[in-house]
């Protein structure tokens, strides 16, 4: 059962609170910029991949970095929610657990979407100024990029919420970073192409759902890819659907 007004309420709360926490707003804007400028610019000065400038090559990867880090962090955040007890107010309302979960996913997606939109605007500006080359930016590719990012963001926010709903205190945070966020990000091919990896590493990248999102973004924005676009989209959609299903169940069993 879905309750649109209640889902809107949850989204409203998340975005209001986000907008009022200036440190979160600043870091969520600065974070991807730093990756792009320092990692892209630094490594890009010595490396180019498949004839593409490295900074351009990792641009889709930086988008994915924003998605993975901020969505999952957001989800794990409900550990604090449990502490400040606002979650109780929601849990005792007539809202179904499915609605609560969807509302939280939408709330988390907003923050991530703000970051990715800023990154897209920067790419548009840099390309227009002639400082960045080889990125196909037109209404169609932007729309497609936006869709790929939205699906992936919903899946990653769900991963965070599932982890957060199982955690009793913020102490498990470090584990989430080491064993969930870093592997998802570094194995996704965000920073390097996955076609020539050593045999022990290649299979691992194939298990990472983010790999397919990065591949789809690269296909859209750079015109280079490893898998067919249809496969990419199918994998990330299935991943997100699965995570939302598991997340709804996790919320039903969550103890407060």
**Single residue of 50, 89, 171, 174 touching other proteins by CB under 8 A:** 89
Least distance between other proteins and beta carbon 57 (Å):
40
**Single residue of 90, 114, 148, 176 touching other proteins by CB under 8 A:** 90
Binding mask 13-52 for other proteins (x = CB under 8 A): x--xx--xx-------------------------------
Q: Is 15 helix (H, G, I), strand (E, B) or coil?
A: helix
In a 10 Å sphere around its CB, with 0-12 CB exposed, 13-18 middle and 19+ buried, how is residue 112 labelled?
A: buried
Nearer Cβ to other proteins (47/256) = 256
Contact residues for 221 (Cβ-Cβ < 8 A; gap 6+)? 59, 60, 135, 136, 137, 141, 145
Nearer Cβ to other proteins (65/99) = 99
Range in contact with other proteins (rule: CB under 8 A) among 70-78, 83-91, 132-140, 162-170: 83-91
Q: Are 161 and 108 in contact (CB under 8 A)?
A: yes
- What CA–CA distances, in Å, run from 239 to 3, 155, 209, 224, 228? 24, 7, 7, 23, 17
Decide: is 5 part of the binding site for other proteins (CB under 8 A). Answer: yes
Decide: is 56 part of the binding site for other proteins (CB under 8 A). Answer: no
Q: Any idea what the Cα angle at residue 136 is, between residues 130 and 141, rounded to 5°? A: 140
- State how far the Cα of 68 lies from the Cα of 237, in Å rounded to an integer: 16
**Single residue of 27, 88, 223, 238 touching other proteins by CB under 8 A:** 88
**Taking CB under 8 A as the criterion, which residues in 93-112 touch other proteins?**
93-96
Which residues contribute to the site for other proteins (CB under 8 A)? 3, 5-6, 8-9, 12-13, 16-17, 20-21, 84-86, 88-96, 256
């Amino acid at each position: 059962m879905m309750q649109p007004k209640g889902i809107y309420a949850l989204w409203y709360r998340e975005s209001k609170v986000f907008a009022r926490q200036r440190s979160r707003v600043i870091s969520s804007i600065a974070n991807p910029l730093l990756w792009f400028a320092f990692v892209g610019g630094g490594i890009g000065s010595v490396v180019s991949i498949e004839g593409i400038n490295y900074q351009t090559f990792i641009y889709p990867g930086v988008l994915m970095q924003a998605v993975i880090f901020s969505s999952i962090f957001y989800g794990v955040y409900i550990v604090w929610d449990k502490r400040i007890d606002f979650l109780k107010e929601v849990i005792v309302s007539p809202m179904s657990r499915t609605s609560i979960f969807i509302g939280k996913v939408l709330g988390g997606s907003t923050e991530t979407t703000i970051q990715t939109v800023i990154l897209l605007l920067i790419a548009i500006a840099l390309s227009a100024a002639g400082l960045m080359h080889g990125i196909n930016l037109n209404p169609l590719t932007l729309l497609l990029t936006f869709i790929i990012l939205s699906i992936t963001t919903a899946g990653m926010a769900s991963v965070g919420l599932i982890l957060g709903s199982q955690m009793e205190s913020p102490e498990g945070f470090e584990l989430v970073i080491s064993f969930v966020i870093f592997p998802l990000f570094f194995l996704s091919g965000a920073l390097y192409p996955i076609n020539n990896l050593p045999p022990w590493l290649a299979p691992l990248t194939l298990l990472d759902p983010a790999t397919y999102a990065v591949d789809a973004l690269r296909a859209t924005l750079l015109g280079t890819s490893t898998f067919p676009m249809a496969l990419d989209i199918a994998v990330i959609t299935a991943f997100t659907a699965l995570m939302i299903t598991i997340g709804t169940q996790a919320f039903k069993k969550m103890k407060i």
